[in-house]
Every structure is written in C-alpha cells, then in structure tokens.
Structure 1
Amino acid sequence: MKILVADSKDAYQWRTVATLAEPGMPADAWIGHACVMDREHVAAVYAPRTFTNKPDLMQGGAFTAVVDVKTGRVTKLPFTASLAYFDPTCNPQTGTAAFTAFRDDKTRLAVVTTSGKIITDASVEGQVTSAVPVNGGLVAARGRHLVRFSPSGKTRTLARADSVPFQIRPTRDGVAFLDRMGDTARAKLWIERGKPSTLASGKLGDLALKQGIGGRVFLTGQPKNARLAGSAVTRLNVSPDAEVSSLGRLAVDPVLMPGVRAGLENIQNARKGFTKEEPSATPRSAKGTADDVGAPTITSISTATGQKITQALVDTTGTTGKESFSPALAITGTSRPAPGRSGRAAAADDPRASTPVDTDRWCSIPRNDVKTLALQPTSNQVEWAVDMAIRGELRAKWLRQGGWRSQAGLGTVDPQGLFPPPTLEGGGRIPAQVLLGVLAQESNLWQAESGAIPGQMGSPLAAIAGFYGGHVRWSGVLTATR
C-alpha cells in the first residue's frame, strides 16, 4: 500500500513517501486506510487483500503504522487492527490516532501519538465503532449511542442517535457525526451537555463528513436544508467520495489503477456490441485493457475556483515501509543456538536448513515441495475447463497428459471420469456463469499461491491459507495538505 502526499507549496505535486508491506508475505495487492494526524504524520492500517476473505483477519489482523510524510520514516506499531472503513481515525487537534480491533465480543481501542507511543490501550465489552481520539479520551459509537471512554476506563453516554453514528469527526466546539433514518442520512453536531442538532440531511450516500485541521470539519456531497452558521462545519461542493485536503482547498477523486478501471468498464459494457460470430483474432488494443501499465491519473478539483486538475502519477516508488517487519509479527517456535556455537553453525546442523520445503506445516501439502506444485491457470484455461465441465466433457481425451502431472505422480488425469456431472431435474445443464461464480468465490480462480504467474507452477493455495487445522494469526492512500 502506497502513501502519497501533495502540498500546496509544491502546486500539489504528488509524491510517494512510503510503501507499506511486510517482507516475504505473499500478496497480489496490499490494501488499507489512512488518516492525517497533523501536517507531517499519517496513521495507517495495511494488509494483503486476501485478509478480507477471513473474518478474524478482517476484524483485527491488519498491520498498523505511523508515517512521517516529510522524511518517509515509517514507525510500525506492535499491534494489529481492523480493516473497517473507519479504521484508523485521526484528530489533528490532539495529534493522535485511534485504532480499533474486534475479537471475542470485545473491542480493543488503541490511541497513539505521532511518534508511535501508545497512550491508550483498552478493551471494552461489545462492538464499538468509529472511535476517534479527543481531549480526555475517545468518542465512539456503541449501538445507537454516542459515547465517551475516559483513560480511566469510565464510559459516559453523550447522546442517542436514530441509528449507529458513523463518520464521527471532532470539531473545535463539539463532535460532528452522521446517522440515518431509512434512506435519509443526517449530519449532526453534538456540543457538550446538549442534544445533537441537525446540520443537514440528504440521501444516504450523498453526504460525507471529512476531517480538517484546526478543529474544522467539511461537509461534502449534496446536502439539503444545510444550517451550518456558527459551527466549525464548512460546506464543500464536491463529491462525497472525494478526499479533502487538511484545509479544504483541494478535493481528490478516488484513484483507480488502469487495469482496475478497464475491468470496471468491461463489466459496464457486458453484453453490448457482441454478435453470434466468434471474436476475431485481431490483437486487442493496449488502450483501455486490463493490460495497461500506464501511470495512474489523479483527478482533483480546487474548491475555491472549481477548476479541475488532472495529474499523471509518474513516480510511484517508495522503499520505506516494506523492508522491516512489523513488531506485531511475533516470531515463535525458534530455539537459541547452543553455547559457543554461532547461529549460522547451529542452523547448518538443522536438516531443515538445506531444504526449502516447509517441514513444520499444518497443511497436508507442504509449501515449496517441487513434487507437489500446482499449476496457476490462466483465465482462458479456467473458462475452457468450465465450458467443458458443464458439458460433461472434462475427460482425459481432451487433457494433455504427462509433463508436470507425471512429475507429481498423478499419471493419467480424467476429472469427470472420477466425478461425473450431476443430472439436473428437468434436464439442461448448469450455466457456465454459475460454475464460474462458485470458483470465483471459493478460490478467485486460483490454484497456486498468489505469487505464482498464470501458466506457471507454485505452492498449492491450500498450503498457504491456514487450512487443515492451521489457523492464520497474521495479525494507495492519498493525503493532501493545505
């Protein structure tokens, strides 16, 4: 996951200050969230994309860090957090960030400073969401209530909302948040010892609250009946999905890599312009395809003038943040070398040191065993196999035998000779899209680890996903200033 920064004094020229990842951890993509702690620091959670497929990792397994955007220094934190949309949450007034993790019907709330120092680390009963640090503790949502958690562990209910409060933002005179009633969202402001007042309303999804510095909050989207006078909340006429700079002078649209954008366009254009004829063999144009390798484009708007700004992000390099391990990755199961012997000499006597095979595996299939590798199929191979399977024709006569199958000791392969297709009541056959959907859900069409190139061999997916009794405990964000 890359942290990109732009500053007004540099005409909002984007630069990559850090790349957050963990060395040696296989991942096809790193994802996460970030928020601005002050002008020079960003708090972030990051994890492999596949963490979203495992509830325990999604709810509390993402890695955490504080990034100095001026120097690029990354301070990795010794705890993990949630990949929820609200995690982490920052308060530039206090220069702190709050991280949330869910485990065993409890919520862990941790607050850190810009140096990475943990000033609060508490566990509370139940599910607490959208926690944000404030002077004297944390403000968060618990059910339909806006609550405050003090450092001493005391809990005080501040206000009752119409639904679970979300997008909780501290202001210089109170706390702003959103709640909903049906399909209507309402922006509200709570001031000490008062009842929440409604600032604006709108269709759910058409409103958003963005955190600024100096106790300011920005209301974006298409609000109705806005009454912001006298509050620290300022209206910005930009998309609710846009990220807003710390002073509200720039709004940045979501950024999609060219390959992702091409995939979305293909989905939108599905079943349009097709004929019954077979597609031509003409090579696909490089323009607008998933094979695009061009630089991503960042589109933003000046909130003062309404002028749109389009920039190509040429340099996406950022080495800091991926060369060191997170302290949350505790190393277990290791033994110290005997007295008088160096670690290198002791390792040489260990038979595991001379083989890449994972001998301490949980899975019945070890990782890195060249005799039990799996083929990472291409998308065309998967579609061909599905088309053959629904016809009952995925048989040995259509499959090339020998080669890697002989190396793996498989001999002749006859899939539907072993597992014939089911007979449907009323006749017909299983639609190809249904089978493809099942495959996409179960393995994302993968057979080997995500680092394997399609068409090549790699460790079976099951060998690295914590199956067979193993339990995985692994516990491009844009920011703008001015």
Structure 2
Amino acid sequence: MTGSGRYAVAVYAPVIATNRPAAMMAGAFASVVDLATGTARHIATGVQLAYFNPACGPSDRVLLTRAIGVDGERTDLLAVNAGTAEVESTRTIDAQLTTPAPAPDGDYGIAGGKLVKVGGSGALTTVATPAGQAFAVAATAGGAVDLVSVRGDQAVAQRWQGGRLAQTGTGPWNRLQLFRGPGGNQLVGDVTKVRTGLPDLRTLRADRQVRAISGQGHLIVERAAPQPDAVELTTRATHSGRAATGSIAAGGGHRLTVPLPGSPAPKAGPALALAETTTPSCAIPRNDPSIEPFQPSHNMVEWAVDQAVHDRLRVQRPANFLKTGLDAYQPQVSFPLNELAYGDAVPAQLMLAILAQETNLAQASWHGVPGDSANPLVSDYYGNRAPPANGSNDVIDYTKSDCGYGIGQVTTGMRVGDTVFSRPNQVRIAVDYAANIAASLNILIQKWNQLSLDSGGRMQLNDGDPRYIENWFLAVWAYNSGFYPYADRSSHGGRWGVGWFNNPANPQYPANRDRFLANKADAAIPSQWSYPEKIMGWAETPQWGWNDNGTYTKYAEPVFGNTSFGKLALPDRYQFCSPVNSCNWTVPADPCAPRNEQCWWHGSTTFANCANHCGTERLAFALGSAEPAIQRIYQRDCADFTGAADSYKVAPPLIVYTLNDTGKYNLGCSIGPSDGKFTLRLGSPPGEEVSKYAAIDLHQLGAGHKGHMWFTHVYPPNFPSGETNAKHQVVATWSPTIPFPYPANQRYDIVAHMPSHGGEWNTSKYYIFPDPLNDSNPATCQLDQSTGGADKWRYLGAHALKKGARVQLKNVDPAGQGDIDIAFDAIAFIPISGAGHSCGAAY
C-alpha cells in the first residue's frame, strides 16, 4: 500500500515462474489498484519476482526492479506514479540492487552490501554500511531511512538520517521485521531491545514471524494461506491481543478490472510484434486428441517414484495406450536407468520433492484433475511466457518455446528435430506419467554425475553418499540453474561450477527467512527461497493432495537422522562462500561483492555428519507392486444417454460428440459413433492469420459425457458494439445427421450436457439453427453451465429440425474478461411427438 493509503501495488506471476530463473528475474506483471474503487490498472510487464518488489514509500511513488544478466548482476529500476499508473522513468544500474525504497529526497536501496542512493542516471552513491546483510529498507515522511539486517544470530535495526547511521535496536535474527504503511514504519516481533520514541517508527510485539500488518498497525496477520476461492487467515489485534482464525471469501467486493494476459493493457508500452516463426518448436502438439495424457493421483506418482529410483518401473503399457497408437512398452525399458556415480539410488523423497515443486505432481495440463485426461503439460509451448511477451495470449514466438513436458518438466530432447529421444519416446514422455518420471530421473542423475565426475574435481557435500537427501543440494541447484563445467572455464574467465542465482547467500532472498515450509503457508510465496531450499522443504514436508472421498493425502516423509529431531540438516546461508567465488562469510553485509560470474561456486563442503543427522528415503510401496488405482476427484460420466426421461420421446436420440472419431475417447467408456459432426472454428474471421491465437486458450479435457470435452474462456468483443473477438473467438458447432427420409416437421428436444467441471459461464448463449435455408433469425437459449460438481443434461428447447440443422455456442460476451470457463460438451437431439421441453428445463 502506498503512503497515501489510496493505492496498492501488486507484482504477480504464474507459480511456475518460481522454477525458472529468467522468469524470477524478469517475468512478472505489476498492477496498481485504486483501493476506493477496486479498479486495477496494468503498469509493467517483465519485472522481478522478489520479496522486495514492489517498494512503496511515504508518497504514491513506487519502485519496481528488473534483474538483468545471467545471475541478475545488473538492475533496471522503474519509478512508478501510482496515481496515474505510469512508469515515469527506468534507470539501469550496474549492480545487483535489492530492497529499494523511495524517499522524499530520492531513491535508496542495497547494492554491494551498502545502503546506496540512486542518482537520476542510475549512478550509485554509498551513504552507509549496514551491520549485516540487509533484508528490509523503508523511508519515512520525515526523511529517515530505516533498515534491518542479519548479523550472526541477531537482527539489527538501524536508522540513517542526517548523514549518520545509528542503531535503533536488536532482536533474534528471524524475529524482527520492518513494515511500512500510512502510519509510518513499524518494527514487529521481539522488540524488547528496540528504542522507542523515534519519529515515524512504532514497535509491535509478535511471538513469531508475521505475514503482514494493517495500514495503521492495529491488526497483525500471522498466517495467510490462499485457497481456490478464499484466503485463510490467522490474525491478532495488537491492542487486545485477541487472535482469530477464519477465511475471507474471494468475492463480494469490487471486481478487479486489470486486463489479463491477452487483453489490451493501457499504458503498457508499444504493441508486441508477431513472431516470424510460425512452426511450433515443441515436438508434441496441444489439442491433438491422440495426445491426451492421463492425470494421475498422488498415490500413483509416489508408487512410480518408489519403483523408478530402484529400477523397477516396468508396468506393462498395452499397445495404443491412451489411444496414442504406440506399441506396447515398459517405462524403464524405454528409458533405462542411468548409472549413479558413487552409489546406487536416488532417494525417493528427493525425486518426489522435485516433482512437487515443478508441477504439483501433475502430468497433464493443470486444467485436468486426477482422473481426467487433458492436454500435455508444457511449460511454454507458444513461447509467450518469456520477455517481452510475459504470458500475453496475443503473442506466439516459437523461438522462445521452453518445451518442458509433463510431471518432471523434461525439456532436453523435446523440441522438433531433436534426436535425443525417438518419436515414440517423445510421445511417452508427454502422455505417460510413469515414462516421464523415468526420463526426468535420468536428468537428475546426470546432474549428480556432472558434479561428481567433472574434470575439475568432484563437487561433494558431506560424505558424498547419495543415499542421504541433503547431499543432493548441489545437484538440484544445477538441475534448476545449470552447471558450468571445468572444461568450459576459458569462456567464463576461468570460473566454473554452479551459479550465483541459487546461492542461499544471494540477497534476492530475505536473509531472515526460515527453512522453506517451516510455515506451510510458505508454499504461497516460493520466490523467497532458492530452488534447492525449496526442494529440501518438499522432501522434509510432503505435499498434500486430494483423495476421491474428499480427504487429503500426502507422500511419505523421509527417514530422519537419529539426532535430527525430525528435520533435514540444511546448509548455512553462507555455506557456499569461499575464495573460489570471491565470497567471504565474515563480511555479513556483503559476502559476495562481485555479484556476477565470479560468484560461481565449486568445491566440496561439509555441514552435517550424515550418519547421524541426514535423511534417507522411506518407500510407501513395495518394490514390484502393481500400479495403484486412480483416486478420482470427479467420477466418469460413462452412462449411456437414452433420452428415457423425456416423456415426449418417440425414437432413440441422436448424440453429437466432441470428437468425430469417437475411437479417440481415452477414458475407457463404452461409446458408439457420433450421430453428426462437431467442429471448432477459431478466430474471427476463422482461418485468418490472427485465428491461431485462439488455440492458446483452447483446452481439451477428459471429462464431460463419455470422457471428452473442450473448453476455453469467455472474452469480450473487440468493439463495444460488436459480437466478435478476432484473436480469441472460439465457435463450436454441433450438426446432427438427420435420418433419411426427412420428416417435414419432425420435432426434437435438444439437450446439452453440462460437465461436472470445466464449464462455469452463467450466461452461455446457445444458438439453434433449425433450417439451414433460414439462418438469419436463429432461436437462442441461455444456460448457466455451473453444475455444482455433477454431470447434468439441460434442455435447449424443442424445435422442428431440417437436414443441415445445427447448434452453436461461442465464447464472446461483453461481460467476459478471459477468466471464466465455457464448455463445449456433447449435445443430444431426441425425436419427440408433442410440445417438448422449454429452454433451461432440467432433464
């Protein structure tokens, strides 16, 4: 919230961005919200996803950062006027700048461990040296700059004012926080050793780290856990000390009007040009009914990992598995397990942790829940998540496609023309969670082997035994941000090893952070920890998932060391500081001054006696056991639709399915041929160059009647008085094959299937064209597609249909914002005698 209290500024990105160094450094969006009206306006794309971004001060001036370079060694500093929602200036700083703070006399921040003032051209002037590594900086209206840093086991609060830096107090290293708001700056936590009476600085007691405080400091938020439709909160009133736990529903207030990716963004800069490349770079396509992976439940994933790490993942997949046309195979025969240097197995909990962080244990698109099939999960199929597009649905740039597939985000070998894998194996990686786990496990082993066998010498943690989870800290570091071999050192000034981005000493992560998932709500803010810290957190604290009976489950905890007190033994924040990367842990304010390639680390280090302290795997499934049954969220709708409930019925219904080749339905329901033709037309007019953009937000789902449907989101028309959207329009058409001879006035009750999930638009407008020779005045029926989680049929009305009759539904509506699902599922045409049913009647 800005100093005036009138605006809030938000920086946000898809959660997958926290697994991509480039996206963390420059892949987030920023918007300003008018707190009186709820109006949100987009202000910038491609900003840093970091705990200190955005930075507000005593006025409505806001600072945003963008990290530049391989490891974020340079910084763009954007100055924003929240009142006008405009970026007023951008300065490039030749240093890693963290914790910026706008003040009445200029802009401050931390660079090279120093408190610096940023000049108009981006030049830095050092004004003071904090006591330790600073993690919070905030200015006051009176011209003071407060900061808090970590020095050893202490948090040190200081104030810079009048040309001098003075200490204002100390506290435990993780129990003293600095917040700012309209009421001034506030030190929160163990404040027994903090001076009182300073202008614009209050103290608030708290017995733990807190998430936020209210603007005037009357309420502390101790816990904030986002849910799908609410935020669960634990709060404490600062005056009375009264605690309350509950949830706030996500609704009932003003609807935010910030344009979503793919919508026009005011003041967002020049329009992005179309990419020259028009051929997909990723080997396995989207929206292909032959490529529809099955979404496993957590028990299936844990079983596959337990088997895979011990080379027992040999479940037999039949020919034409999931209707892919593949020959029969076994996952670890298609992807033989790589030999592991200095040991025999990857710990199961380590592999599960990587899958949890990368994809939440999902093989198919996140639109599909366990028990569904869906499009392949691809990290960036269209190349529109990298800068400058940053998620815009109006951009396709296949040159920037990431092509990470499935539960393990397998990228290597998954581009068009790659020869690492055969075409059948590429398909297996995309559709089969077990095959994907077998392939991604090998990638992790390759990282361990790179560190262990590099020509520069073995990079080893503790005793180097791969049985211990903690000994993989460097390998998962390299798994995320890469390893720079010794043989290539001449290209990097003689340096090699692992980079600065994931070093726990990097000040882009708060120095007062506790271990990841010490508070389970940490999962909502994963950008505050380095990747290996997150993996160790998921290994220590298993991820939860749904069961089919509405309860939750989780994969097994590791076997903890005898003296570990149920925790993994993690490295110190400065564990990877040594002369090889110009890092000196004895200088807490600035251990690694260069902030560039010189901070790359290599070597061996010890932080635990693994025989007593380290964790090992715990198998939940016996080796050689059978693949467990799926734990569905929604039951399949495999029931035959006979129209028996229609009292006007005189003949069997005609059913038009969403695939003309019903042999591609892959969930196992018994299904006959479609009684007509189903088509999807993209763009307006369809077939034009811009029509390809509609495919970005078009999704297939193994749900609905008999296990296949399509859905997209509802978008507004391009013009206020129009009815079309050039880039995002999707029109579905169901055309029944009217039997010959054609009765002159045969009436049909038309019934549309509403899926249990994937359709939510409450004003879905179906157009019925009974006579192809008279298209100018179609009948309409408006339905609410929400079903409360159950598959249902609803009447569209009764009509006399002639040969060529059809029903259409499109995703364009003036109220659409690109965020609510609209589904295209099967439609039945029931021959009737009599009046039939009216629009909206329940079947």
TM over 0.5: yes
- What's the secondary structure of 2:32's corresponding residue? strand
Structure 1 residues without counterparts, runs of 5 or longer = 1-34, 259-292, 336-357, 478-482
How do 1:384-395 and structure 2 match up within 5 A? 384-390=303-309, 392-395=311-314
Give the corresponding residue for 2:219. Answer: 250
Q: CA distance change for structure 1 residues 201 and 463 in 2, over 3 Å: closer, same or farther? A: closer
Deviation of residue 230 (structure 1)? 3.5
Give the corresponding residue for 2:234. Answer: 299
How do 1:144-163 and structure 2 match up within 5 A? 144-163=113-132
How do 1:62-461 and structure 2 match up within 5 A? 62-91=28-57, 93-104=58-69, 105-114=73-82, 115-171=84-140, 172-193=142-163, 195-214=164-183, 216-238=184-206, 239-257=208-226, 296-316=231-251, 318-321=255-258, 323=260, 324-326=263-265, 327=268, 330-333=271-274, 360-390=279-309, 392-395=311-314, 397=316, 399-402=317-320, 404=322, 407-421=323-337, 431-440=347-356, 443-461=359-377
Q: Deviations over 1:145-177 (max 9, x none)?
A: 111113354532211123343311112241000
Deviation of residue 143 (structure 1)? 1.5
Deviation of residue 426 (structure 1)? 11
- What's the secondary structure of 1:205's corresponding residue? coil
Structure 2 residues without counterparts, runs of 5 or longer = 391-523, 526-843
CA RMSD of aligned residues (A): 3.2
Write the distance in 2 (CA, Å) between the matches of 1:431 and 1:311: 38
Write the distance in 2 (CA, Å) between the matches of 1:153 and 1:438: 39
Q: Any conservation in 1 of the 2:42–2:259 contact (CA below 8 Å)?
A: no
Q: Are 2:28 and 1:59 equivalent residues in the alignment?
A: no
Q: Any conservation in 1 of the 2:170–2:191 contact (CA below 8 Å)?
A: yes
Q: Deviations over 1:436-462 (max 9, x none)?
A: 345445654332232233332333234
Count of residue correspondences = 379
- What's the secondary structure of 2:304's corresponding residue? helix
Deviation of residue 464 (structure 1)? 2.9
Q: Any conservation in 2 of the 1:244–1:252 contact (CA below 8 Å)?
A: yes
Letter of the aligned partner of 1:456 in structure 2? D
Deviation of residue 416 (structure 1)? 2.7
Deviation of residue 53 (structure 1)? 0.6
- What's the secondary structure of 1:457's corresponding residue? coil
Write the distance in 2 (CA, Å) between the matches of 1:82 and 1:124: 14
Q: Any conservation in 1 of the 2:63–2:80 contact (CA below 8 Å)?
A: yes
Letter of the aligned partner of 1:220 in structure 2? V
- What's the secondary structure of 2:65's corresponding residue? strand
How do 1:2-17 and structure 2 match up within 5 A? none
Q: Deviations over 1:77-120 (max 9, x none)?
A: 133311110000101x3211110110123201111112212222
Q: CA distance change for structure 1 residues 418 and 117 in 2, over 3 Å: closer, same or farther? A: closer
Q: Deviations over 1:418-451 (max 9, x none)?
A: 3445678999866543443454456543322322
Q: Deviations over 1:15-41 (max 9, x none)?
A: xxxxxxxxxxxxxxxxxxxx4343221
Q: CA distance change for structure 1 residues 242 and 437 in 2, over 3 Å: closer, same or farther? A: closer
Deviation of residue 183 (structure 1)? 1.9
Q: Any conservation in 2 of the 1:45–1:87 contact (CA below 8 Å)?
A: yes
Which has the larger share of strand? 1
- What's the secondary structure of 1:77's corresponding residue? strand
Q: Deviations over 1:379-400 (max 9, x none)?
A: 1221232344356543354x45
Write the distance in 2 (CA, Å) between the matches of 1:204 and 1:305: 26
Q: Deviations over 1:26-77 (max 9, x none)?
A: xxxxxxxxx4343221011010000011111101110011001111111101
- What's the secondary structure of 1:380's corresponding residue? helix
Q: Deviations over 1:400-430 (max 9, x none)?
A: 55452xx322121222333445678999866
Q: CA distance change for structure 1 residues 465 and 189 in 2, over 3 Å: closer, same or farther? A: farther
Q: Deviations over 1:190-243 (max 9, x none)?
A: 1022x21111101111001110225x2111100342223333211111344141
- What's the secondary structure of 1:44's corresponding residue? strand
Write the distance in 2 (CA, Å) between the matches of 1:184 and 1:390: 42
- What's the secondary structure of 1:196's corresponding residue? strand
Write the distance in 2 (CA, Å) between the matches of 1:316 and 1:181: 43
Give the corresponding residue for 2:386. Answer: 472
- What's the secondary structure of 2:17's corresponding residue? helix
Q: Deviations over 1:269-325 (max 9, x none)?
A: xxxxxxxxxxxxxxxxxxxxxxxx885443322222223344431343645335545
Q: Any conservation in 2 of the 1:301–1:308 contact (CA below 8 Å)?
A: yes
Letter of the aligned partner of 1:85 in structure 2? Y
Q: TM-score, normalised by structure 2?
A: 0.41
- What's the secondary structure of 1:372's corresponding residue? coil
Write the distance in 1 (CA, Å) between the matches of 2:121 and 2:215: 31
Q: CA distance change for structure 1 residues 208 and 250 in 2, over 3 Å: closer, same or farther? A: same
Q: Any conservation in 1 of the 2:75–2:92 contact (CA below 8 Å)?
A: yes
Letter of the aligned partner of 2:242 in structure 1? Q
Write the distance in 1 (CA, Å) between the matches of 2:347 and 2:88: 56
Q: CA distance change for structure 1 residues 41 and 381 in 2, over 3 Å: closer, same or farther? A: same
- What's the secondary structure of 2:38's corresponding residue? coil
Write the distance in 1 (CA, Å) between the matches of 2:178 and 2:258: 29
Write the distance in 2 (CA, Å) between the matches of 1:87 and 1:431: 36
Higher-Rg structure is 2
Q: CA distance change for structure 1 residues 456 and 330 in 2, over 3 Å: closer, same or farther? A: farther
Q: Any conservation in 1 of the 2:305–2:352 contact (CA below 8 Å)?
A: yes
- What's the secondary structure of 1:313's corresponding residue? strand
Of structures 1 and 2, the one with the larger relative CO (CA 8 A, separation 6+) is 1
Write the distance in 2 (CA, Å) between the matches of 1:425 and 1:99: 44
Give the corresponding residue for 1:289. Answer: none
Write the distance in 2 (CA, Å) between the matches of 1:313 and 1:196: 42
Give the corresponding residue for 2:702. Answer: none
Write the distance in 2 (CA, Å) between the matches of 1:45 and 1:294: 20
Write the distance in 1 (CA, Å) between the matches of 2:8 and 2:126: 30
Letter of the aligned partner of 2:162 in structure 1? E
Write the distance in 2 (CA, Å) between the matches of 1:138 and 1:162: 20
Q: CA distance change for structure 1 residues 435 and 121 in 2, over 3 Å: closer, same or farther? A: closer
Q: Any conservation in 2 of the 1:77–1:328 contact (CA below 8 Å)?
A: no
